[in-house]
Structure 1
Amino acid sequence: MSQRANEARNGGFQAQNGAKVRVLPAICDLPVPKVPDGVELSPAERKQFRSIFRGPYGHYMDDAHAHEVCVYIKLTSAVLSGVASAWHASERTRLAHQLGLTPAGLKALGMRIETEDDA
């Protein structure tokens, strides 16, 4: 049985160093959740919101994550524009890791992004 067929049979999970790891496709074609009521995002922030949910993260995030993703985006905007405090920058990093938006965060969640070697 091919590696891909084996992963499909295991619900997208693959054994890696004795642990099961969920392999996420790089692109997600599921519907992007709506920006939560009361949250205002600039056009660039909306683009980032869509990008997160259309990427590999959209395979495990849903509407329930929309608020946290918006907080992450707002913190990122504040950090990049130079108006964030050290606390904001630290919270942005923690949230990125918790949401799995970093390689270390994905690993902690037991996931990784599909590579060409997986095909």
Structure 2
Amino acid sequence: MPGGRKWSQEERTLWHELWTAPQASQWDDSFIPSVAAYVCHFTAVLSGDASAWAAQEMRHLGEQLGLTPKGMLSLGWALPTPGGGSE
């Protein structure tokens, strides 16, 4: 995780979950700042501390990172189906 701030255990867990998600196979180190910003906004939204702007930024980052169905579609990504094929 990038330096410059203290990361909570919840943020560290989310960071690990994101970087082990299937979408992360398409990210390189240039995605670190975007993923870090997503983690910050996500935890603020869940804790109720986020402004409407921060919630909107989380949504946009999620789409740009391919973490939402809309984002995956716009990037042309498809996750494998449980049977092993892709949709």
Taking structure 2 as the reference length, the TM-score comes to 0.88
The number of equivalent residue pairs is: 85
Task: Give, in angstroms, the shift of residue 55 of structure 1.
Answer: 1.1
Match for residue 81 of structure 2?
115
Partner Cα separation in structure 1 for residue 64 and residue 23 of structure 2: 12
- What do the CA deviations read for 1:43-93 (whole angstroms, capped 9, x no partner)? 111111111111101210121111110100110111111111111111111
Partner Cα separation in structure 2 for residue 57 and residue 45 of structure 1: 18
Bigger strand fraction? 1
Counterpart AA for 2:10: A
Specify every segment of 5 or more residues in structure 1 that has no aligned partner in the other structure, as ranges. 1-34
Which is bigger in relative contact order (C-alpha 8 A, separation at least 6)?
1
Match for residue 79 of structure 1?
45
Task: Give, in angstroms, the shift of residue 39 of structure 1.
Answer: 4.1
Partner Cα separation in structure 2 for residue 63 and residue 51 of structure 1: 16
Match for residue 61 of structure 1?
27
Bigger helix fraction? 2
Equivalent residue for 1:93, pick from 41, 46, 59: 59
Greater gyration radius: 1
Task: Give, in angstroms, the shift of residue 40 of structure 1.
Answer: 2.9
Which ranges of 4 or more aligned residues in structure 1 deviate by more than 6 Å? Answer: none
Q: Given that residues 103 and 112 in structure 1 are in contact (C-alpha distance below 8 angstroms), is that contact kept between their aligned partners in structure 2? A: no
Partner Cα separation in structure 2 for residue 60 and residue 100 of structure 1: 9
- Aligned positions of 1:6-85 closer than 5 A: 35-85=1-51
Specify every segment of 5 or more residues in structure 2 that has no aligned partner in the other structure, as ranges. none
Q: Among all aligned residue pairs of Structure 1 and Structure 2, give the percentage whose two residues are the same amino acid.
A: 38
